[in-house]
Structure formats: structure tokens, C-alpha cells
Amino acid sequence: MGHPAFVEWFKMSYAVKEIFYTLQGEGAQAGRAAVFCRFAGCNLWPGSEASRSTATCRFCDTDFVGVGGPGGGNFDSAEDLATAIEQKWPADSARQGSGERDSRQPSLSLGKRFVVCTGGEPLLQLDANLIAALHRRDFEIAVETNGTVAAPEGVDWLTVSPKAGTKLVQLNGDELKLIYPQPGGESRAESEPGLDPANFELLCFRHFFLQPMDGPNRAANTELALRYCLAHPKWRLSLQTHKILGIP
């Protein structure tokens, strides 16, 4: 298993639900143009409604099952997937007109290429080969993870969103984004105490965000998050602006 050739063969396929170009809607990078690569699969919920009530994470609002979304599929290599991601980034019209295309020298008018690897749980699949392939295409790589899997080297922006009932393995990064309020305990009943933001404040992150839990209680949850941020200025409020704007 340790032989490099075997490792390269063993880890060469990626299951991706969808790839799309939009604006990042959450956290410190909100409003920034990005290609989203949503990996299929998660280690906290299989993704079916039938299994939600017994899953570790029960409030996920994302469809990450299968590979049938826009731009999704099974990719046989890191190069194949990195190319598919690159194709979603806007082409430089000036270079198109001249017949030139050099991904190593992106146009200043297009800004820094930015890809958000999300899921599901992207760290079940994101590996050194894909990171290298994306960096060769001049992408800044962001990852949105639940923190139960250690992040590989080379990630440029790491967002960790802890979930109740799990062991947090990734204890540092760029931003910690806590869905709030979040029921705690083994049964995670709504009436039980949730994850306390104070328990995460000593971790090594540059930014700390509270994001109101979506769903039927979103208005009340937003008020709770707002009040907490006002009372604890270390925390900033993160809203799902893509939902407000009606974009992916």
C-alpha cells in the first residue's frame, strides 16, 4: 500500500455531484466569484431523507448524493477533474480574440482563480494529486469541511464547520463556522443544550462565524445568532447570501 505507484493507482477516481460557477455566499469570502466543486458522499449522513433522523448530522440542506448534477460525474484522474473545474472559470475575452490561452498567466481583470471544494465531505476525496493539479492551473483552493478528517497540505483557505456528536480533528484553519443554534447530546433533541461557541474560541482560527441554522426556525435562529454576536464580539454573523440572492 505504501508503494507510490500503487497509491497513485489506488487514488485516481473522484465522484463529484456538481461543478458550477457562482459567488461564495458565506463566511469571510462572501461575494467572491468561485467555482464550486461539490464532492459526492459524506461521513455524517448518507444523504437520504429516510436516514436523516438517525444520522449524526440531521440538518444538512445540500444534495450531495450521486454524480448527476450539472458538471458532475466520475473523474478518472486529478487532471481530468482539474480541467473540468478550469473550464467553469470565465475565459479571458482578450486572449480568446488573439487565439492565445495560457492558464499560467490569468488576466488581471479576472482576478485570482478560486475554487471551493465542498460536499458532502470533500476531504474524503480531496488529495495531494488534485491539489497539485489545481495549483498548476493557478487556482486558490478553499475547502469547506466538517472537521472530522484532517486536511491535507496545500489547502489555501480552510473553513471548518463543527457538528454535534462528532470528534473535531481539524483544530486550526482560516475560519470556523458554527451553525447556530445546534442541538447537542447523543440524541440531539431540540430541547437539549447545543454546541457552545465558547468551547471553540481557543482554537487556532483567524475568523469565527455563527451562521443561523436554516429551516422553519430560521428567523428565530437568526435573532439568536445576532444577539450572540453582539454579546460576544469575537464572533461574526454569517448569512447564506446566495439563498437571499437566489443563486446556486
Catalytic entry in 10, 62, 192, 223: 62
Query: How do residues 89-100 score in pLDDT, each as one tens digit?
Result: 998 644 444 344
Q: How do beta strands 204-212 and 157-160 pair? A: unpaired
Catalytic entry in 18, 37, 39, 60: 60
pLDDT of 136 reads: 98
Residue 199 lies in a domain: yes
Q: Which domain holds residue 146?
A: 13-90+98-245
Domain with 167 in it: what CATH number? Answer: 3.20.20.70
- Secondary structure of residue 117 in the 3-state scheme: strand
Q: By the 8 A CB rule, do 148 and 120 touch?
A: no
Residue 185 lies in a domain: yes
Residues with Cβ within 8 Å of residue 102, at least 6 apart in sequence? 95
| Residue 60 appears among annotated catalytic residues | yes
Q: pTM to 2 decimals?
A: 0.87
Q: How do beta strands 204-212 and 236-237 pair? A: parallel
| Residue 135 appears among annotated catalytic residues | no
Q: What is the rounded CA–CA span in Å between residue 13 and residue 104?
A: 25
**Element housing 84 (H / E):** helix 78-88
Catalytic entry in 86, 144, 174, 175: 144
Burial of 235 (0-12, 13-18, 19+ CB in 10 A): buried
Residue 85 lies in a domain: yes
| Residue 223 appears among annotated catalytic residues | no
Residue 172 lies in a domain: yes
Query: How do residues 56-110 score in pLDDT, each as one tens digit?
Result: 999 998 999 999 999 999 999 999 999 999 999 998 644 444 344 455 555 566 7
Catalytic entry in 37, 57, 117, 229: 57
Mean pLDDT (whole number) for 44-53: 93
Helices (H) and strands (E) in the chain, counts: 6, 9
Q: Which three cell numbers mark 22? A: 457562482
| Residue 61 appears among annotated catalytic residues | yes
Residue 125 lies in a domain: yes
Q: How do beta strands 236-237 and 33-39 pair? A: unpaired
User: How far is CA 114 from its chain centroid?
Assistant: 12
Q: By the 8 A CB rule, do 200 and 171 touch?
A: no
Based on the structure, what is the number of domains in the chain?
1
Q: Which three cell numbers mark 37? A: 466543486
Residue 5 lies in a domain: no
Residue 1 lies in a domain: no
Catalytic entry in 18, 26, 42, 86: 42
Cβ neighbours of 25 (radius 10 Å) = 21
Catalytic entry in 59, 127, 207, 242: 242
pLDDT-derived band of residue 9, with 50, 70 and 90 as boundaries?
A: very low
pLDDT of 32 reads: 97
Query: How do residues 126-146 score in pLDDT, each as one tens digit?
Result: 999 999 999 999 999 999 999
According to DSSP, residue 148 is labeled S
Q: Which three cell numbers mark 40? A: 459526492
Q: By the 8 A CB rule, do 148 and 43 touch?
A: yes
pLDDT of 194 reads: 74
| Residue 36 appears among annotated catalytic residues | yes
Backbone angles phi, psi at 180, to 5 degrees: -140, 140
Catalytic entry in 18, 26, 36, 148: 36
Catalytic entry in 8, 61, 192, 223: 61
| Residue 229 appears among annotated catalytic residues | no
Q: By the 8 A CB rule, do 77 and 12 touch?
A: yes
Residue 240 lies in a domain: yes
